[in-house]
Amino acid sequence: MPKKHRDSSPGLSPKSKRLKEVKNEFNQAVSRPTPSKVKERGLTRPKKTTQAVPALPTRQSLRIRKKDPSGELLPEPSSSEIYQTVDEHRTFRYFRQPALKAVGLKNINSLIASQTVYDSPRKIGPLEMKPCNNVEQTHSQEFIDELTVLANILEKSKENADDDAAIDPDVVSYKKAMQSLEITEGHVAKLVPHRIFSMAFHPAKYKTLVLAGDKWGNLGIWDVDSSKGDDGVYLFEPHSRPINCISFEPGNYGKLYSCSYDGTLRCGDFRAATFQEVYSFDDDDYSRFMYFAFGSPSSSTILAATDSGYVMVVDTRTNSKTIAEQSYGLHDKVIKCVDVHPLNRNLFLTSSTDGSVAFWDIRNIKNMKSKLSSLQRTRVTSSAYFSPLTGSQVLVTSMDDYVTINDVDASGIVSTAAKCCFRHDNQVGRWLTSFRATWDPKFEKYAVVGSMRRPRQIDIFSSELKSNALMHLTHENLNSVNSLNVLHPSVNMLAGGNSSGKVYLWT
């Protein structure tokens, strides 16, 4: 029997033994001390010094240096070349002329700081009609007295749009008249400190007065031809939240009504020089007024729309400030606009964030199903208005990027097929007031709305054109988006307001 080899490391294979040997050799090599680096003596090498290289001039193209390809200087462009008109189907950047310096409010930093507080309380009771801007008390009293005298004159002469037998001009004549409007020196004014939410003209022909309400409850009145105070601008504080709608009482231009997010409906009485409280929600009720309209069923009655989908009937002759005559729940969502038919005072319409425009008879409302007819849009309907003279058309602005005109008969039955359908960019974003297309109150078939196009412009529509705008009103001094635009009820004049509180007057 052969003898077995006796291993000195029993239990280990030859391969394992070899690995153990290699490991031991490696550990011995690592543990050896490394020789230290010998310090050199004697002459040392000179250190390399980098010389500062002078900076080369920045290269500029011939276009930046205003030179042609041959190196010759280009001539200075004329004003007509700097201000270019926009093509209807495209948008581009361009170089603008310096804008006119705005007149109006000055030194309002302290006022702005005091108002931009989200927990500012609601103003209660009657408020004194005293300007809060840089206006002397004597000038303020003179201005309020002028408004009172002006209202008396208008009442005696019955100077209003209904008495004027206005005949709609043809499209060519109207377009020519609108093209003659321009923004001249002194016709750009800072009317309110913050974003404009509502605008109106005083109906007087011989004295131009523009009114605007802003985001923090300020009401600005601009006497265009005056230079007293802040260039004829008088600023009041009747509310503490956005003023969504302002309007003079029909036939009584000494009273200016306003509604606000703060849940109050007020009347600015120029004769009494106070802002009277017409209606107010309870302190624990956080409902907001969104819009209002006069005249259903009488001129002393106001239809006030709320953010809870209700329309409240408020009689301005009663002393009750917290109880409405009637309250109708007409929509499940916010009512954005309400308007009364100019001839049939029992007929009114509402537009809502649910995308609907509904027509109602105030004599026959029981619930939401009592509507006479309705239109349905795919997105929020920002506004809807009857045509100003006959009420036979309704102008609708919606967030689906369309402005439409539909026929409506005297009984409140609206045609679902749009008579005119204008493609219009209504996406204004968070920081601009939503567009609201409005009629020219002097005529039956012309409307105006702001625009997002460049160069900045105002769009004019006619119900005689099916899908194209009548014209785009542009001017070199218009340098911002005018979200809200109103036309004078008796004169060829236009006012537009932007989100910084400025008003541009076209005359």
Interatomic CA distance for residues 157 and 382, integer angstroms: 36
State both tokens at 378.
Answer: 């795919």
State both tokens at 210.
Answer: 């523009």
Does residue 299 form part of some domain? yes
Interatomic CA distance for residues 442 and 416, integer angstroms: 26
Let me know: does 244 contact 261? Beta carbons within 8 Å: yes
Does residue 38 form part of some domain? no
Interatomic CA distance for residues 230 and 426, integer angstroms: 34
Quick one: 338 and 262 in the same domain? no
Does residue 482 form part of some domain? no
Does residue 173 form part of some domain? no
Quick one: 265 and 314 in the same domain? yes
Let me know: does 311 contact 305? Beta carbons within 8 Å: yes
CA atoms within 13 A on the CB side of 42: 2
State both tokens at 291.
Answer: 């819009």
Burial of 321 (0-12, 13-18, 19+ CB in 10 A): middle
Does residue 58 form part of some domain? no
Contacts (Cβ under 8 Å, ≥6 apart) of 391: 341, 342, 343, 344, 347, 408, 410
Model pLDDT, residue 117 = 58
* CA nearest to 477, candidates 449, 458, 500: 458
Quick one: 341 and 323 in the same domain? no
Contacts (Cβ under 8 Å, ≥6 apart) of 95: 82
Cα dihedral across residues 475, 476, 477, 478: positive or negative = positive
Strands 103-104 and 188-190: parallel
Burial of 476 (0-12, 13-18, 19+ CB in 10 A): middle
Per DSSP, helices labelled H in 232-363 are none
Domain span at residue 432?
333-474
Quick one: 250 and 398 in the same domain? no
> In degrees rounded to 5, what are phi and psi of residue 21?
-65, -45
- Strand intervals (E) in 83-160: 103-104, 127-128
Quick one: 138 and 255 in the same domain? yes
Quick one: 301 and 368 in the same domain? no
State both tokens at 426.
Answer: 């209504």
Model pLDDT, residue 166 = 61
Model pLDDT, residue 322 = 79
Q: Provide DSSP, 171-189.
A: HHHHHHHHHT----TT-EE
Quick one: 322 and 357 in the same domain? no
Quick one: 305 and 221 in the same domain? yes
SS (H, E, C) 98-115: CCCCCEECCCCHHHHHHH
Model pLDDT, residue 299 = 76
Provide the whole-model pTM: 0.79
Strands 484-487 and 471-474: unpaired
Does residue 131 form part of some domain? yes
Model pLDDT, residue 86 = 42
Interatomic CA distance for residues 52 and 23, integer angstroms: 55
Given 329, 350, 368, which residue is the final one in a domain? 329
Residue 211 forms beta bridges with which residues? Answer: 200, 221
**Residue-wise over 284-311: b if at least 16 C-beta within 10 A, else e?**
eeeebbbbbbbbbbeebbbbbbbbbbbb
Most distant CA atoms of the chain, gap in Å: 146
Let me know: does 200 contact 248? Beta carbons within 8 Å: yes
Model pLDDT, residue 410 = 93
3-state percent helix, strand, coil for the chain, nearest multiple of 5:
15, 30, 55
Quick one: 340 and 317 in the same domain? no
Torsion of CA 246, 371, 308, 376, to 10 degrees: -90
Does residue 255 form part of some domain? yes
Residue 337 forms beta bridges with which residues? Answer: 351
Domain count of the fold of the chain: 2
Quick one: 150 and 237 in the same domain? yes
Number of H helices, E strands in the chain: 6, 30
Contacts (Cβ under 8 Å, ≥6 apart) of 17: 9
Quick one: 226 and 325 in the same domain? yes
Q: Which amino acid is at 68?
A: D
Show pLDDT as tens, one digit a residue, over the chain (507 residues): 444 444 445 566 777 778 888 888 878 776 666 555 545 545 555 666 666 777 777 888 888 888 888 888 888 776 555 444 444 433 334 434 455 778 888 777 666 666 665 667 788 889 999 999 888 888 999 999 999 999 988 888 764 444 445 677 899 999 999 999 999 999 999 999 999 999 999 999 989 999 999 999 999 999 999 988 789 999 999 999 999 999 999 888 999 999 999 999 999 999 999 999 999 998 788 899 999 999 876 778 999 999 999 999 999 888 778 788 899 999 999 999 999 999 999 999 999 999 999 999 999 999 999 999 999 999 999 999 999 999 999 999 999 999 999 999 999 999 999 999 999 999 999 999 999 999 999 999 999 999 999 999 999 999 999 989 999 999 999 999 999 999 999 999 999 999 999 999 999
Interatomic CA distance for residues 62 and 298, integer angstroms: 71
Burial of 95 (0-12, 13-18, 19+ CB in 10 A): exposed
Given 305, 329, 353, which residue is the final one in a domain? 329
CATH number assigned to the domain comprising residue 154: 2.130.10.10
Given 329, 361, 389, which residue is the final one in a domain? 329
Does residue 189 form part of some domain? no
Quick one: 340 and 432 in the same domain? yes
